[in-house]
Amino acid sequence: MIEAAPDSNGSTTLVIFGASGDLTRRKLVPALASLHSKGRLPLDLQILGVARSDMDDEQFRAILAEWAALSSRIHYLHGDVTSLQDLEAVKDKLASIEGNGGSHNRLYYLSLAPSLYRSAMSGLGESRMSEDFDGWRRLVVEKPFGTDLTSARELNDVAHSVFREDQVFRIDHYLGKETVQNLLVFRFANAIFEPLWNRNYIDHVQITVSETLKIDERGDYYDQTGVLRDMFQNHLLQLLTLVAMEPPHAFEAEALRNEKVKVLNAIRRIRPDDVGRHAIPGQYRTYRDESGVSPESDTATYAAVRLHVDNWRWQGVPFYLRSGKALRNKSTEIIIQFRSPPHMLFPLADDEDIPANTLAIFVQPDEGFHLEFQTKTPEAELQMRTAELEFHYHEAFSGQAIPDAYERLLLDALNGDASLFTRSDEIEQAWSIVDPIIEGFSLPTAPRPYYYSEGSWGPVEADRFMLTDGRAWL
């Protein structure tokens, strides 16, 4: 249950930089309106939107009808986050919103293009808006945080020159999803799965994040980014860490994040000159025709990668990660494939392998779990059939809508709970895993991206890649 942030004696202001943008309109405003309707926003919360567009309070309030219920608490100021003069005006506006007396807490949300993070953070420092003598100051930074290890380190350095690490909340909205959190409950609040959760019983793990969408109008951005930066460095590695981590001693930010960082540390780095053995790049057939994309582009819109976690629990268990654009389905799934029984008593058809149990964890769209096991076919003599135990959120909690990830993340940031946000060392470790693969893909000796048809499951080479390991995508 998401709880309302405690009331404070004074005011709490959420300052959204980039208040006229897409993320604000599509995610932040609906999340705030929904939290308000559930009575979960701090009672003293004020919201100040900042962007260069010339809007007034009324126009900002008109973004969404449901948002109107909050209207007396919504303010807008046009300003450029790179201008110290404008930040001084934001400071004055905040002072007028906050009034006198009590503590004045502020959550700064950078819903800005990543190229502006650095100047926004420095500006908050130079204008002394980060100082927390009269209330807490926190900073939410959207993804992507850097484009490689070097730039992520530089951004972390700028952030740390202005804020303490415990004030910085780096978003990976996957962590705000209910099923992702439920993965931890599933693993650590049940006694029956954890004893099996290791190399003795698990053959391998598959993590798939597939998208049906192409790159839309984001050609310029995407061609510089590619699937490894866009999806692997953040979402896929986050999912992997939650599957592979040791139980933290408490459900608390530092304990959780320490365990996640240990997993990232333990992931065997792929050498750039060896990338062809461990990763398959793909590109959907019409990608080079998209506007903003170079006609000779070798940017991967798909990748399949085999990773190993070199520790006691996971030695010898491959983690297969894949993600791509223009694929058949939009879905996010984690499949735990258990080992086959060591000896088969029951007859198998000629083309049948000894069956193995699988646990499928669906993160989206239909959030839930499936556990596959073998049953005897009625009346037939010792014939087996695969059956499933299923749990679906929408059936089990019917009538209870699953909150959008941003509701949870906004509330956690307001409450100061960083458990579902990414720490600086976590981000850097993740880049250090993905950077050599990106570098490897760009070497002349590396395979060029294999073409795949839109609406397929990616290049056939990704299937062959699994076959050479004696496995298949599930």
Q: Which two tokens stand for residue 14?
A: 């959420």
Nearer to ligand NDP, 369 or 421 (CB): 421
* Residue 113 interacts with ligand NDP (CB under 6 A): yes or no: yes
From the list 75, 173, 235, 278, the catalytic residue is 235
Bond prior to 318 in cis (omega within 30° of 0): no
Residue span binding ligand NDP (CB under 6 A) among the ranges 113-121, 208-216, 351-359, 364-372? 113-121
Q: Which two tokens stand for residue 121?
A: 């953070």
Distance CA 214, CA 449 (A): 16
Q: Which of residues 305-364 bind ligand NDP (CB under 6 A)?
A: none
- Cross-sheet strand order for the sheet of 45-51: 74-78, 45-51, 10-17, 103-110, 137-141, 168-170
Q: In one letter, which amino acid is 306?
A: R
Binding track over 5-24 against ligand NDP, x by CB under 6 A: ------------xxxxxxx-
List the beta bridge partners of residue 390: 370
Closest approach of Cβ 113 to ligand NDP, in Å? Answer: 6
Among 29, 41, 87, 112, binds ligand NDP (CB under 6 A): 112
Q: In one letter, which amino acid is 229?
A: R
Does the active-site annotation cover 308?
A: no
Of 130, 129, 221, 235, nearest to 172 by C-alpha is: 235
Distance CA 350, CA 130 (A): 69
In the block, residue with structure tokens 């931890």: 184
First to last CA, the chain: 33
Q: Which residue's beta carbon is nearest to the bound ligand NDP?
A: 21
Binding track over 69-98 against ligand NDP, x by CB under 6 A: -----------xxx----------------
Bond prior to 403 in cis (omega within 30° of 0): no
Residue span binding ligand NDP (CB under 6 A) among the ranges 112-120, 198-206, 384-392, 449-457? 112-120
Among 143, 262, 269, 471, binds ligand NDP (CB under 6 A): 143
Closest approach of Cβ 413 to ligand NDP, in Å? Answer: 15
Of 393, 212, 414, 236, nearest to 301 by C-alpha is: 212
- The residue count for the chain: 474
Nearer to ligand NDP, 44 or 404 (CB): 404
Closest approach of Cβ 406 to ligand NDP, in Å? Answer: 9
Closest approach of Cβ 51 to ligand NDP, in Å? Answer: 4
Number of residues that bind ligand NDP (CB under 6 A): 21
* Environment class of 463 (CB within 10 Å of its CB; exposed 0-12, middle 13-18, buried 19+): middle
Nearer to ligand NDP, 82 or 415 (CB): 82
Among 34, 46, 105, 111, binds ligand NDP (CB under 6 A): 111
Residues whose CB falls within 8 Å of the CB of residue 327, separated by 6 or more in sequence, listed in order? 210, 211, 212, 302, 455, 456, 457, 458
Is 276 strand, coil or helix?
helix
Residues whose CB falls within 8 Å of the CB of residue 366, separated by 6 or more in sequence, listed in order? 392, 394
* Residues forming the active site: 235
By the criterion CB under 6 A, which residues form the site for ligand NDP?
A: 17-23, 26, 51-53, 80-82, 111-114, 116, 142-143
